[in-house]
Structure formats: C-alpha cells, structure tokens
Amino acid sequence: MADTGQLAEQLACDYLQKHKLKLITKNYHCRRGEIDLIMQDQSTLVFIEVRYRKSAKFGSALESVTTQKQQKIIFTAEHFIASQNNALSQYRFDVVAISPNKQQTEITWVKDAFQLN
C-alpha cells in the first residue's frame, strides 16, 4: 500500500490535472534533491512541492517549505532543465499544501510560491 506522501502527491497531481496542467514526471531526483511533480501549465514548466500535514501543531504545510527546502528544489529544477531538450523557457515554483479537514481534504495551491534569489 502507498504511503501518505505518495497518496498526497497523487491527490495533488489529480487536482492540478483537473486545472489543466499536464504531468511531465513525478519524483524527479538528482544528487542534491527531489521534486515531487513537474508539470506543464500552457507554456510554463512548473516545479511543484507537495506538502501534507495531519495537523498544524508544528506549523502549516505551507510553512514547512523553508528557505533551505526552496534552495534544494531550485537546484534540482536547474538540474532538470539542463538535462532536458525542453522548448519551454518559462518556469515557476508552486506549492500544494494538503491537510485533512472534518468533512474533506483541504487542498491549497500556491502558484509562484517562491523564486530564484
């Protein structure tokens, strides 16, 4: 059975596909990091960090994407871009935060959540 992280990533992927994003790859790895989802939004390449929090006791899912985590994602994105013959020149970094709610799962999608410094 899939773990909670994989289920959250699949939920996020399904949600984004309903919003017209096209999946390019899941769980892209390089030596310094991983990107949960890489998708295409029209002419933009989108690198997506999926965060799941069962409770906000130790901070929200969005708050858990620290500056250090952002730097790892940026490095990994640069690695992906360099390794592809991709015609897309625009890209952005999104975060999808997932947290259970009383009736249903709450999904918060933050487009352009952070940029290169």
The tally of CA atoms less than 13 A away on the side-chain side of residue 35 is: 27
CATH of the domain at 74: 3.40.1350.10
The 10s digit of each residue's pLDDT in 27-86 is 999 988 999 999 999 999 999 999 987 765 555 667 778 889 999 999 999 999 988 877
pLDDT at 117 over 70: no
Output the six-digit token pair for 60: 């929200």
The sign of the CA dihedral 77, 71, 47, 90 is negative
CB-CB contact of 97 with 53 (8 Å): yes
More confident residue, 113 or 99: 113
Instruction: State phi, psi for 83 to the nearest 5 degrees.
Output: -90, 0
pLDDT at 87 over 80: no
The DSSP secondary structure of 13-39, one letter per residue, reads: HHHHHHTT-EEEEEEEEETTEEEEEEE
Tally the domains of the chain: 1
DSSP 100: E
Domain range enclosing 53: 4-114
